[in-house]
Amino acid sequence: MPELRYLDALNRALHEEMARDERVVVLGEDVGAKGGVFGVTAGLLERFGEERVIDTPLAESAIVGCAIGMAVNGLVPIAEIQFADFLHPAFDQIVSEAARLRYRSNGAFGCPLVIRVPYGGAHGTALYHSQCVEAFYAHVPGLKVVAPSTPYDAKGMLKAAVRDPDPVLFLEHKRLYRLLREEVPEGDYEVPIGPAVLRRSGKDLSVFTYGWMLHETLRAAEMVRGEGVEVEVVEIRTLRPLDKATILRSVAKTNKALVVYEDNRFCGYGAEIAALLAEEAFEDLDGPVVRLGGPDVPAVPFARSLEERWMPDAERIAEAIRRLAWY
Amino acid sequence: MYYYMILARVLDERMWQLQRAGRARFVVSAPGHEGAQVAMVWPLDRERDWLVPYYRSLAACLVKGLSPTEILLSVLAKAPDPSSGGRQMPGHYGSPRLRILSGSSTVGTQYPHAAGIAYAAKLRRTGEVVVVSIGEGGTSEGDWHEALNFAGVHRVPCVFCVENNRYAISVPVRKQMPVESVAVRAAGYGMPGVSVDGCDVLEAYRVMKEACDRAREGEGPTLVEFRVERLSPHSSEDQQERYRSPEDLEAARRRDPIPAFGSYLRSVGLLDDARDQALWARARREVDEATEDAEQAPDPDPATLTRHVYHDPDPDRPVDSVYWFGGE
């Protein structure tokens, strides 16, 4: 099996899905000759032509809005928005249109489309290229929101998203694109949208996380292992619909829960996990549900010193683990 | 064409009666727009082509194939309402069977959808034409401009219609746009723009026929502005006497397209008093029967509240337990 980077795994999935099904089209700004700002759509234009690999005008609402129309009329569009920060002009099309089409038509119209978007803090990408937007969209019934964090999952979940009958917001953490390699099977396989995954088994406490924070958490778990703390790490992976069963089962086993996420802590995605545990796992808990999130500033600042202070990292996660373990 | 205009008018009046009688919770309608809307849909292949309507598209949807009963099922929010099963306010028409795309209340959002449907039609070489409509107020929205730009670049088979009745709820057109006509904006998007009197049904039809033919022959989109009159308030929540002068309202009433088209038909010998009365009587009968049918239909079952949020082969499953992907 070849070792692929996260972005190469996504690229393979796009090539394979476009070859498998001629209804699949890719659209967005720079997705053609340039191959996307990060190179995820490289080679698609040459192979599938400009009718199916559509360099669009710079207009995010139109990219998503036109994709909705394409989906309604028999295509399977995969829209790329260059950065999560640039999703905001398309917020209305995603939330009020794509997410509601099935419900508002009483099931008559579906909206099978995928919106791929890089998100999260990376080295030097600053305020307008680093936002975590998952809480905005995970809030909305009718959308599915996924955030795979390994090359294997990236390929398998993108395939699952393309084949899903509902609109899927596909979040790709920018720091993952080139930093991570993993064996990824050639050819077809799916990682289903929905199930969370146990990344590490432990008995002392559970950490629930996703995206880049999974990798920081796994490092933190190694750090505290020598101190006798055995951490269980559950990667949520699909933010909506949420796999409650896996989360509740893990807490029933470890009796303590830490939620780690990069988004602003206040009203961030982790709040939903904390609320779920408070409501449905109260009897299992031997300590408070703790959230470790990004600080409540708009997004990652540019200067290195500020950036380093901003991102939750393995050291800070390890510290939170220790405090909770000793509780 | 004339009969559909009459039918839309009678149906429109019935909607208001139902609202005043407390049987309909909300009405949005379009007396004065009937001529433009009938002309707009008349050149379409009813089964193959698409209509992407907005909340005033009553006559357009009737011509496309929604029945008066189906319209009233949505007005009364009944379970068999084909547009939304009582989920949306009245006026949000939709039917996959008739290729009428379901819309939202946010104006302008349907323009990119129409461009996307037309792009798919072009890519799939289906020969379908898409007609989308909006009021002139909606042309201020970014989506409107973004869609025309996309459609102009890709020369998609779409006719972009604007029903300019000079008021966006209460805001007059001079406060909405700094140009005399919506149609002149077409130049900015590389497509022809035509402004036509929407109260002149045959001229409006000629313009639409030409635009649809252009689209079907692969020559790309057209922007068509219909100058129409809004004879009713914006909706049942509005009182237009507060912001329109009696002279303005009287001038609008004089441009009512139904008597105008009736006079034309009389002048060419296609209509007389007896025929006219018979048509109105037929429309009233049809609407009476539709009212009865719609009123007898059941209300939506509250147990269906959480259906159709996501695709689900088992729609009876409540959404709160929608963790059907497992998690084992």
What 3-state DSSP class applies to B275? helix
Half-sphere exposure of A226 (CA within 13 A, CB side): 5
What is the reported pLDDT for A236? 97
pLDDT at B312: 83
Q: Residues A140-161: what's their mean pLDDT?
A: 98
Average pLDDT over residues A82-107: 97
Give pLDDT, residue B325: 36
Of A74, A102, A103, the CB nearest to B124: A74
Output the pLDDT for position B250.
Answer: 95
Q: What is the mean pLDDT of residues B95-104?
A: 96
Q: How many residues does chain A have?
A: 327
Contact A85, A46 (CB under 8 A): no
| Mean pLDDT of the region A86-109 | 97
What residues have CB less than 8 Å from A256, skipping those under 6 apart?
Answer: A204, A205, A206, A285, A286, A287, A324, A325, A327
Lowest mean pLDDT among A3-7, A308-312, B210-214: A308-312
3-state secondary structure chain A: CCEEEHHHHHHHHHHHHHHHCCCEEEEECCCCCCCCCCCCCCCHHHHHCCCCEEECCCCHHHHHHHHHHHHHCCCEEEEECCCHHHHHHHHHHHHHHHCCHHHHCCCCCCCCCEEEEEECCCCCCCHHHCCCCHHHHHCCCCCEEECCCCHHHHHHHHHHHHHCCCCEEEEEECCHHHHCEEECCCCCCCCCCCCCEEEECCCCEEEEECCHHHHHHHHHHHHHHCCCCCEEEEECCEEECCCHHHHHHHHHHHCCEEEEEEEECCCCHHHHHHHHHHHHCHHHCCCCCEEEEECCCCCCCCCHHHHHHHCCCHHHHHHHHHHHHHC
* Chain mean pLDDT for chain B: 94
Percent of chain A, pLDDT > 90? 96
Over residues A189-220, the pLDDT tens digits come to: 999 999 999 999 999 999 999 999 999 999 99
d(CA B188, CA B143): 15
Report chain A residues whose CB lies below 8 A from the CB of B154. Answer: 54
Element (H, E) at B57: none
CA distance A115 to A137: 12
Which candidate from A70, A142, A196 shows the least CB-CB separation from B116? A70
Q: Of the given ranges (A110-119, A143-152, B21-30, B317-326), which has the lowest mean pLDDT?
A: B317-326
Residue the block writes with tokens 């497992």:
B326
pLDDT digits (tens, 9 = 90+) for B226-253: 999 999 998 888 889 999 999 999 999 9
- Enumerate residues 33 to 72 of chain A having a beta carbon within 8 A of any beta carbon in chain B: 51-52, 54, 56-57, 59, 61-62, 64-72
What is the complex's ipTM, to 2 decimals?
0.95
Nearest to A31 by CA among A230, A22, B2, A47: A47
The chain A residue lying nearest B300, using CA atoms, is: A106
B323 pLDDT more than 50: no
Contact criterion met (CB < 8 Å) for B310 and A56: no
In chain B, the percentage of residues whose pLDDT exceeds 90 is 91
Catalytic residue (choose from A129, A139, A173, A215):
A129
pLDDT at B237: 87
B321 pLDDT above the threshold of 50? no
- Beta strands in chain B, from DSSP E residues, in sequence order: 50-52, 130-135, 158-164, 167-168, 171-172, 193-197, 222-227
**What is the arithmetic mean of pLDDT over B71-78?**
97
CA–CA distance, A235 with B275 (Å, rounded to integer): 73
Nearest to A115 by CA among A103, A97, A130: A97
A66 contact residues in B (CB cutoff 8 A): 112-113, 115-116, 119, 147, 150
Predicted confidence band of residue A122 (pLDDT cuts 50, 70, 90): confident
Q: Which of residues 220-249 of A touch B (CB under 8 A)?
A: 238, 241-246
Quote the minimal CA–CA distance from A71 to chain B in Å.
8
Taking contacts as CB-CB distances below 8 angstroms, the residues of chain A near B115 are: 62, 65-66, 69
Name the closest residue on chain B to residue A58, using Cα atoms: B146
| Confidence band, pLDDT 50/70/90 cuts, at residue B316 | low
- Pure H helices in B84-221: 110-124, 142-154, 201-216
Write out pLDDT tens, residues B24-45.
Answer: 999 998 999 999 999 999 999 9
Determine the residue type at A227.
Answer: E
How far lies B59's CA from each of A200, A241, B34, in Å?
A: 62, 40, 6
Residue B326 pLDDT more than 80?
A: no
The confidence score (pLDDT) of residue B314 equals 75
Alpha carbon distance B120, B156 (integer Å): 9
How many other C-beta atoms are found inside a 10 Å radius of the C-beta of residue A84? 26
Alpha-carbon distance of A79 to A89, in angstroms, equals 14
Question: What residues of A are in contact with residue B158 (Cβ under 8 Å)?
Answer: none
- How, if at all, do strands B158-164 and A53-55 pair? unpaired
Residue A106: which of B84, B111, B327 has the nearest Cβ? B84
Reported as a single tens digit per residue, the pLDDT across A276-325 is 999 999 999 999 999 999 999 998 999 999 998 998 999 999 999 999 99
Q: Residue A201 has what pLDDT?
A: 97
User: How far apart, in whole angstroms, are the C-alpha atoms of residue B226 and residue A60?
Assistant: 29
Q: Can you tell me the distance from the alpha carbon of A314 to that of A322, in angstroms, rounded to the nearest whole number?
A: 12
| Residue B318 confidence (pLDDT) above 60 | no
How large is the angle between the packed helices B201-216 and B34-41, nearest 10 degrees? 30
Asked whether the beta carbons of residue A69 and residue B309 sit closer than 8 angstroms, the reply is no
Residue A107 tokens read as 């099931």
Cβ <8 Å between A97 and B109? yes
A279 touches chain B (CB under 8 A): no
User: Could you give the CA distance from residue A264 to residue A182 in angstroms, rounded to a whole number?
Assistant: 29
pLDDT number for residue A1: 83
pLDDT in the model for residue B328: 31
Nearest to A102 by CA among A161, A192, A165, A169: A165
Mean of per-residue pLDDT scores for chain A: 96
Alpha-carbon span A182 to B15, nearest angstrom: 63
User: Where would I find the H helices in B193-315?
Assistant: 201-216, 246-254, 257-267, 273-296
Q: Which residues contact A187 (CB under 8 A, 6 or more apart)?
A: A16
Q: Are residues B61 and B94 in contact, defined by beta-carbon separation less than 8 angstroms?
A: no
The whole model's pTM is what?
Answer: 0.95
Please say if the pLDDT value at position B320 is more than 60. no
CA distance A243 to chain B (A): 5
Residue tagged 């202070």 (tokens)? A309
Mutate to test the interface with B, among A81, A103, A238, A239 (most CBs of B within 10 A): A103
- Cα–Cα distance, B318 to B309 (Å, whole number): 10
Closest CA to B138 of B53, B63, B74, B195: B53
Under the banding of pLDDT at 50, 70 and 90, the label for residue B324 is: very low
CB contact under 8 Å between A100 and B104, yes or no, is yes
pLDDT at B322 over 50: no
